[in-house]
Structure 1
């Protein structure tokens, strides 16, 4: 009997190669991430499932899969998937919650540390043969405002509070019991209103989903509320930040620094050619790698295949269904 075919975009295949290669019950085929050639490969192989990265898909992909086929995100965010087209073509969309939050939270703290202790700048100077010092800043006692108290936001709160002694303030429109947040996550204060809490921030990190409502969530108005000594960390989605407004704030001394792992355009390309974040000395940049640890990628690949197998056996209630 022919094995069911699953196409996995090449980058995601490499991230979980050991897991995908050991799947004896499925034919796992690496494929391009570009939509049109990916759709052709799906039709050619008669695949019933495709595993995708963070790219946006708007047309041929949905037509190439059979009804009740699977679109699986290699990760949690699914803003690259068009829910209308997925539903029109009777496709299941799944993700992998609960397996990469720790990796993203760690990267958030590491990026903050790189800024606060001038790691990237000092490394660059050392490689150039310059022995010099720059005063850094400690996390202990500083106010870290966490925007979005989902799984990642709560993990960041725990590490910053219990691990580093920071004073963590939380902001979430679905705010739950503060007493529980204090006990479990070390959150000292919380609000549903950004403007009520953000002005206190020494560090502010974003952990909210990307959608129409949160597009350019951090715009010039919200940036204006922050202290000039504050720093921003974004490991969520690039569309949350108005990069032109961020550039202006950083270049104009209205914000002390920014550490970014995600961008409006990926691979990074400045939204405005004269506002290239790479030219600023107070910015630390990484190429959307916060969840890319060997451990997290193994867990994600395993969860992806588990979901696909549930679909094959029609155990839909066990799947991590997005829609």
Structure 2
């Protein structure tokens, strides 16, 4: 019986050596160690042997069982590794291949498109493009721009303050002062960038984009401002557009004017069929920005750098990039720019 046990062990070793899959190993396990296999049956017959043979046969059978079990585990591990390698090779993804279907080609966001279009217009008119810090001081954001100490924009409920003297800028206008501090006149620049205010509804978001414009030189008049903005409006909204100026108030300009562009959806507030235009609300005009002649108090703040209010004059204007994009493309809700809905964004490829 001992010879048969050793023979079974050798057979199991030989079979395991040529096994080619984990499934074959499991079949060998059943064949040599299963409930109906020969080796376990031999163990059960040990009790029927003469007393002087039981110990030797039992020890040999148990030793063979452990050896076969260990051998099959080792071979199963080897096959598992090779099978995994084969699967990884067979299922390998070639990341250099083009996607199927091909991914959509990226494009500029509508706000970025509009900002670049505005920049191109003013560069063509002789303006430079500048950028400034989004975290500003109260001095640059309000004091130097002639804001009264009780101005509502200074309230903590309207502006994002970081400390008593530091805030997130509410407009890009502080670059008026910074630019004039850095360079004597003449100066012609626009300042695009993000600004922040505590406001959120259909036409306002806490963070939005603005373009500030500044021109300071000798003999600049309100007529120069109107001509510049008329050229801008026609470049953005079409060559047939007209503009009008309405008196208004801004702390850093005097006189100050709101600027409207003639509605591009109707004629005199009436659309085809005689109905009231829904875009301009029947007025025939669309408000696009605020502007005016630079207040002498603002120039006096930097007078030491050549900006003598008695010698130079200037104009300034500010517009919301989202406002221009909404008017030009018929966007009804400002929040659509930030929802990242691909169905909305793909309309402006």
Q: Scaled by the length of structure 1, what TM-score is found? A: 0.22
Q: Scaled by the length of structure 2, what TM-score is found? A: 0.20
**Structure with greater helix share of residues:** 2
